[in-house]
Amino acid sequence: MIVLGVDPGTQFAGYGIMRKEGGRTTVLDYGYLKMNPSLPLVERVGIFHRFFNEKISAFGVTDLAIETPFLGRNTQTFLKLGYLRGILYLLSDTHKLVLHEYSPTQVKQSVTGYGGASKEQVARLISRLLPAMKAQEKYDVTDALAISLCGIWESSRNQLLR
C-alpha cells in the first residue's frame, strides 16, 4: 500500500507519500507545491494536476487520502479548494486509486489522540513520529503527512475488522 496524502491549497499544496509493507511504514516523499498566486486559477489548477499526476506515477501510489472540506469564513476559498478536490477525484479515478476521506477531527484524533489538536500540536507529533523528516516551516506538509498516516492506520484498522 502506497498512500499519497494531500492538503490542497491554491498557493501551497502539501503532500506526503508513505508505504506500508507488513508492519512497517516508510516515508517515501513529502513537501509542498508552491504556486504563484498571481497566475490565473485555471493555470494553477493545471499545475496542480500535472504535479500530482507525476507523483502518483513516479511512486506507484495505490491510495489517495484527503480531508473532507469545511466551510470557513471565506466561501471563495472553499469553492477554489473544491476545484482542487475535483482534480484529486479525477486522478483517483484515472489511476484507479482507493480514495480515503477523513474529517479534520478524524485526522487529528488518529495522529494525536485528540480531535481538537492545533496545527502546532499535529506538527510537533509528526516530527516525533518521523524523526528523519527535516524541520518543516509549512503546516501544509505536516498536515499532509498526518493525512497519509491516518490513511494507513485507518486502512489497517479496517482490514483487521474484516
Q: Which residue ranges form the domains of the chain, and what is each CATH number?
A: 2-161 (3.30.420.10)
The C-alpha cell at 99 is: 480514495
In the chain, the amino acid numbered 124 is R
Q: How confident is the model at residue 162 (pLDDT cuts 50, 70, 90)?
A: very low
Concerning whether 7 is annotated as a catalytic residue, the answer is yes
- The active-site residue out of 67, 93, 137, 154 is 67
Q: For the segment 85-137, what is each residue's pLDDT rounded down to a tens digit?
A: 999 999 999 999 999 999 999 999 988 888 888 888 888 888 888 876 666 66
Q: For the segment 42-57, what is each residue's pLDDT rounded down to a tens digit?
A: 999 999 999 999 999 9
pTM attached to this predicted model: 0.90
DSSP the chain: -EEEEEE--SSEEEEEEEEEETTEEEEEEEEEEE--TTS-HHHHHHHHHHHHHHHHHHHT--EEEEEPP---S-HHHHHHHHHHHHHHHHHHHHTTPEEEEE-HHHHHHHHHS-TT--HHHHHHHHHHH-TTSPP-S-HHHHHHHHHHHHHHHHHHHHHHH-
Of the candidates 45, 28, 43, 62, the residue with the CA atom closest to the CA atom of residue 144: 28
- The active-site residue out of 43, 140, 143, 154 is 140
Concerning whether 93 is annotated as a catalytic residue, the answer is no
Report the C-alpha gap between 113 and 106 in whole angstroms: 9
Q: Cell 498536515 identifies what position?
A: 143
Is 160's pLDDT higher than 50? no
In the chain, the amino acid numbered 42 is V
